[in-house]
Amino acid sequence: MDQKKMGPYRLEATIGSGGMGTVYRGIDERTGDKAAIKVLPSNMSHNEGLRERFQREIETLLQLKHPNIVRLFGFGEEDGELFYAMELVDGRSLAEVIVKTPIKSWRTVVKYSLAIAAGLRQAHDMGIVHRDIKPANVLITRDDKVKILDFGIARLFGATGVTMAGGIVGTADYMAPEQAFGEGVTPKADLYSLGALMYAMLARQPPFRGNTVTEILDKLRYNEPVPIDRLVETLPNDLSQLITQLLDKNPENRVPTARALCRRLEALLELPEETDFDLNLADHSTKKPSAPEDEYQLKDGGGDEAPTLDPQARKLAEAPTMQLTGDGGSHEPQAKSQDGGTEAPATIVSQRAKKPESQTRFTTVAEQRQRTSEEESRREKSSAWINYIQIGGLLVALGVVVAVMMIAPKKPTADQVYQSIEDGANEGDLAEISDEMDDFLERFPEDPRSENVAQLKEELNLRRQENRYRLAAAFGGVNQGLHPVEQIYLDAMKTNELDPQGARNKLQGLILAYGPSGSQQGDIARCLVLAERRLKQLNSALASKSKQQTVSIRERLQYADEIASDDPIKAERIYRGVIQLLEGESWGTNLLNDAQMRLNNLKSR
């Protein structure tokens, strides 16, 4: 029996499956290259709205090129089934790592998280939100590299109303509150999910657990997760605080961007190695301790309630008290309880040796002075040595700082960064200097050239938004996620080729109704800027076109005048043709009246 094929790929074996499709290992029969082939469920493949959005979304995702993102090679359809081919990664999912080989070092968790944040940073810069960051969508390769799977696929399904098991798109355990309750998704939703993923890598459980999706969503809305430093010991405070901030229910309180998160994670990796300890899950003997401040303290001895301590600490706390002898001799025998156990006395008893009889000691003034002098001399020498040590320490520290400054790579100056930006702008590739522009604006906001850099950055944002509109217009359909301003702009773009005059009228109306661009913000402001530019281009093109047509039509009218005496029928046909051509054309009103007058004169002869 022939093996199943998807496009040029021959499917060899099933790698995995889930609610969003089945993944196969495939071979490209043209080149022999291996790939992972994800085939969407048949019920989704037959959804017409999904098929259209699938093609549009994959076209966008093909632009993602980052070492921490699984590359998409292409997409297609085979016998009515939609599929896409992606990079085949040799490794395990992070979910499998957490379950089978739990991570022992917080530093490893930070390294993995930094790699994920770096991938998210590039995607967010391109306007792409993952929407389903979870352990199953992160791969760890055999050489310990990190790869993110399924970029944008949750958005793809979410845009069509298709739901997964449980009635929500995405994974409730790692989903941001605003995403779970339909309040709009921004890049900060991915940052929440990454915070939940960091929590799971450390605590081996997500922030909220429940038996049903409804129970998890209820906790997600109303509860706060147990602080990670109460579940996992030996964590740096900065790491605990970062995870708490990422899991804040209010997106405004989270880390602002993936770029900023990368910097925070890099700073954690710079902590000294003496902070590295194996991760230990704290042992909570009671689910509800009496009070947070008493959680690790012994209860009063008279109570029946067992102290909230791990078994080893409890054993140490309940060890019998010993009587200590003052002469260093053997211990007194311990009292025995009726059941043969050791009975612990209530207090520690110390039996001291009798004080010896007083002995007369006499010190002369000279001896006292000698002692005082010797003591002062010792203090001075000691103080001198302390000063020498302090000075030596400062010199060593200064030497280390100088060495680090000489060895460590120096950040480029404002002039160097600006020169790089200027060169890139002259070459016309603003996307290549996006990081340099961000660096300049962040480090040198007071530099007078920062205004020029900000304008270039905004121009890059405009180009990216224009590319998204072109893709949407090329593939047709209406994007339900667009603002009405953006939808009108797309309609004008689609109308332009067949009816440039109609496109111009739509753009004029759009700018009059919603403009000017300076009165709006964000994507709407950029859309109006693009509309103003496109209207200017159309006006120029139509003016040039009307000028050319005016010259040509005047030549035809002059020719008709010349042949009117010898061939009036042909001349009349030319006049009528010109009139018909210019009907409804505002720029040709004068020519139309001229042609009508000449036709009337011809008829009156």
User: What one-character DSSP code corresponds to residue 273?
Assistant: G
Select from 109, 112, 128 the least CA-distant residue to 120. 128
CA distance 306 to 192: 38
- Give yes or no for a cis peptide into 207 (omega within 30° of 0): no
Pairwise CA distance, residues 55 & 181, whole Å: 27
A 10 A CB-CB count for 582 gives 22
Tokens 């996620």 belong to residue? 481
One domain for residues 481 and 570: yes
Report strand pairing: 72-78 vs 81-86: antiparallel
H or E, element range at 147:
strand 146-148
Boundary of a domain, candidates 420, 444, 467: 467
Q: DSSP label at 581?
A: H
Same domain, 417 and 268: no
Q: What are phi and psi of 283, to 5 degrees?
A: -100, 110
Residue 574: predicted pLDDT: 92
Residues 6+ apart with CB under 8 A from 495: 502, 503, 506
**Residue whose C-alpha is closest to residue 158's, from 54, 81, 17:** 54
Output the CA–CA distances (angstroms, integers) from residue 164 to 41, 171, 354, 511, in the order listed. Answer: 11, 9, 83, 41
Which CATH number do you get for residue 36?
3.30.200.20
Alpha helices in 564-587, H assignment, sequence order: 568-582
Does residue 103 sit in helix, strand or coil? coil
Is residue 457 one of the residues assigned to a domain?
yes
Dist. CA 160–CA 378, nearest whole Å: 85
Residues 117 and 260 in one domain: yes
Domain that holds residue 262: 91-281
- Name the token pair of 344: 């612990």
Same domain, 95 and 154: yes
Q: Is residue 334 part of a domain?
A: no
190 and 122 part of one domain: yes
Tell me the two tokens of residue 75: 């997409």
Instruction: Answer yes or no: are the C-beta atoms of 140 and 68 closer than 8 Å.
Output: no
pLDDT at 148: 93
Do 306 and 257 contact (CB within 8 A), yes or no? Answer: no
Q: Does one domain contain both 199 and 221?
A: yes
Q: Is residue 356 part of a domain?
A: no
DSSP 419-462: HHHHHHHHHT-GGGGHHHHHHHHHH-TTSTTHHHHHHHHHHHHH
Positive or negative, the Cα torsion across 468, 471, 473, 476?
A: negative
Residue-level pLDDT at 540: 82
DSSP 276-319: --B-EE---S-SS-S-GGGTTSPPPTTSSSPPS--HHHHHHHTP
Residue 342 lies in a domain: no
- Give the per-residue pLDDT at 379: 65
Kindly state whether residue 585 falls inside one of the protein's structural domains: yes
Structure tokens at 51: 């098929």
- Domain for residue 344, yes or no? no
**Low pLDDT (below 70) residues in the chain:** 1-2, 18-20, 44-57, 59-60, 152-170, 274-384, 403-410, 474-481
**Residue 38 placed within a domain:** yes
9 and 73 housed in the same domain: yes
Any domain includes 183: yes
* Residue 304, pLDDT score: 33
Buried b (16+ CB within 10 A) or exposed e, 385-410: eeeeeeeeeeeeeeeeeeeeeeeeee
> What's the burial of 602, exposed, middle or buried (CB within 10 Å: 0-12/13-18/19+)?
middle
How many Å apart are CA 287 and CA 291, to the nearest integer?
A: 11
Rounded to whole angstroms, the Cα distance separating 55 from 259 reads: 29
Please tell me whether residues 164 and 51 are part of one structural domain.
no
Residues 569, 589 share a domain: yes
Same domain, 41 and 185: no
pTM of the model: 0.48
Same domain, 10 and 98: no
C-alpha–C-alpha distance, residues 394 and 214, integer Å: 60
- pLDDT computed for residue 543 by the predictor: 81
What whole-number distance in Å separates Cα of residue 192 and Cα of residue 117? Answer: 11
Measure the CA–CA gap between 440 and 417, rounded to whole angstroms. 7
Residues near 330 by beta carbon (within 8 Å), at least 6 away in sequence: none
- Tell me: do 52 and 164 sit in the same domain: no
- Decide which of 60, 86, 112 is a domain's last residue: 86
Tell me the catalytic residues.
132
Helix/strand/coil for 269: helix
Nearest-10 crossing angle of helices 106-125, 258-269: 160
Identify the residue whose tokens are 């590359």: 71
